[in-house]
Structure 1
C-alpha cells in the first residue's frame, strides 16, 4: 500500500511538472501573410525569455473557424478586423488584449519584365488573388478594383486562392501572369517584382489585429506584448509591413 501511495504521488508530481512545462508553450494562429514576422519574433522571444512559441498559418477565416471549433490557440492574429470581430462576437477572445500590431499595402506582383498599366496587366491574362468571399486580401483586392472601376473588366481572369502565399506561388510557377497580394508578401518572394501599388484610398486600411484567446497564459500575454514592443515593431517593419503606429492605430 505504501509503495502504491508513493507511486501515485510520484505520478501526480510528474503530471504537475509536465503541465507546467506545457504551459510555457505559446500557440499562435496567424494570417498566412504574417508568417515571416511571427517566426522571427518567436525566435527572438525564445532567446530572451525561454518560452517556446509555435504557430499555425492560414487564411484568417480558416483560423477563426478552427478557434470557434475549439482549436487550442493562445493568440489570434487576423489580416482584417472582420474575423477578429467574428471571434469577439462569440466571446472567444480577450477584448482588453485586442490591439493592432501591423499594417500593410496592396500591390500587384509579377515575374520580372511583366510590368504594365492598370487594368491591362490584369485584363489580358489570368491573375491570382485571395478569394473575396472569405480571404481578407481578396476582399481588399476586389474593393480596390471596384473603387478604381476595373472589377467588371478583369473579374473573368481572376483565379481565387486560399491565401496570398498560394497566390504568389501561382505566379512563381507561371500558372498566372500576376497576383494581387500584400506588399510584405511580395517583399519576401523570390524573383518577383511589384508592377503596381493600389492607392490607399481605394480600399479600407489594411490592419492586423491581434488578441489573446480563451484563458491565456502569462507567456502568451508576454509574447503579445513583445509584438507590440519596439523590438517587435522593428521586426514588423523589417519584413515589409507598416508598424502599428504608422498604420494609425
Structure 2
C-alpha cells in the first residue's frame, strides 16, 4: 500500500528535524552562546585551566590590562574584562563601559624579584637594598611603569624602598608582565619584577625575593561584564569564576582567591 499524503508530510517533517539537529550540532556556537574574555596576561595559565573545567566555548585575549582597556574603549567586542589592577577597571567604569552591578574583586597577587635560574641567589628586599649594584649595569625587566599594572606596582615598591632613582635608567620596560618575564628567562636581563604567579609558571627563572606587601598598593584583580556584552552566557561564566569550583585553578598558580 502506498503511503498517504499526511504520512509523507509527517515523514518529511521528521527528516527535516533530524537534519536540522545534526547541522546545529556541528555548527559553531552563535555569538550569544560564546563568551569573549579580555584578561590580564598574568592570568593565562590559571584561566586556561579554569576554562577547560567550565566546559563551554570561551575565547580569551591576554595582554596588559592597559592595552585591553584601551581596546575595549575603542570598541573591541568583548563580554568580560579581568584587570590586574583597580585603576584600569575604574578607567572603563568611568566611561560607562562596565556593568557596575556585577563587578567583583576576584583575585589577589604578590610581586617578586626574579633572576635567571642558573644565576639567581636569594636576597633580602628591604629599604635601601642595593638593586643598582646587583644589576651591575644590566637591565631591570618590568612592565611599563606608568601603564602596565605589574610595572606600576613595581615602581611604587621601589619608590617606597628608596631605590627607584638608582635603577630608573636601567629599566627595560615591557608591554606586559609576561614579556618582562621572558626577558629574564632568556637571560637578556639579570633581574625582573613580575607577579609571583608568573614566576611560578616559568622554570627558567628563580624568585630571589618577595616585595613587602606594604611597599605597594594591594594587588587586586577585578572582573566585570562589559556594557556592550551580547553573550547570554556571560553572567553564568562570571558566577563560575567566583565559584568554589574555579578557585583551585587560581590557587594552584599562586593567586589568592578573594571572598
* TM-score calculated relative to the size of structure 1: 0.86
Greater helix share, structure number? 1
SS of 2:209 mapped into structure 1: strand
Equivalent position of 1:107 in the other structure: 112
- The answer to whether the 8 A contact 1:122-1:178 is kept is no
Structure 2 unmatched ranges of 5 or more:
1-19
Shift in Å, 1:121: 4.2
- The answer to whether the 8 A contact 2:177-2:194 is kept is yes
The 5 Å alignment of 1:1-249 reads 21-46=30-55, 51-112=56-117, 113-115=119-121, 116-118=123-125, 119-123=129-133, 124=136, 125-213=138-226, 214-245=228-259
Indicate the RMSD between aligned Cα atoms, in angstroms: 1.9
Shift in Å, 1:243: 1.1
Q: Which moved more, 1:115-124 or 1:131-140?
A: 115-124
4+ runs deviating over 3 angstroms: 17-20, 116-123
- The answer to whether the 8 A contact 2:116-2:191 is kept is yes
Q: How many residue pairs align between the two structures?
A: 227
Change (3 A) 1:26 1:195: same
Shift in Å, 1:61: 0.7
Structure 1 unmatched ranges of 5 or more:
1-12
* TM-score calculated relative to the size of structure 2: 0.83
Change (3 A) 1:110 1:20: closer
Shift in Å, 1:97: 0.8
Between the aligned partners of 2:69 and 2:62, the Cα distance in structure 1 is 11
- The answer to whether the 8 A contact 2:81-2:225 is kept is yes
Deviation string for 1:108-157 (max 9, x for gaps)? 01112322455334543321011111100010000000001111111121
Structure label with greater radius of gyration: 2
SS of 2:199 mapped into structure 1: helix
Q: Which moved more, 1:114-123 or 1:142-151?
A: 114-123
- The answer to whether the 8 A contact 2:35-2:59 is kept is yes
Shift in Å, 1:36: 1.1
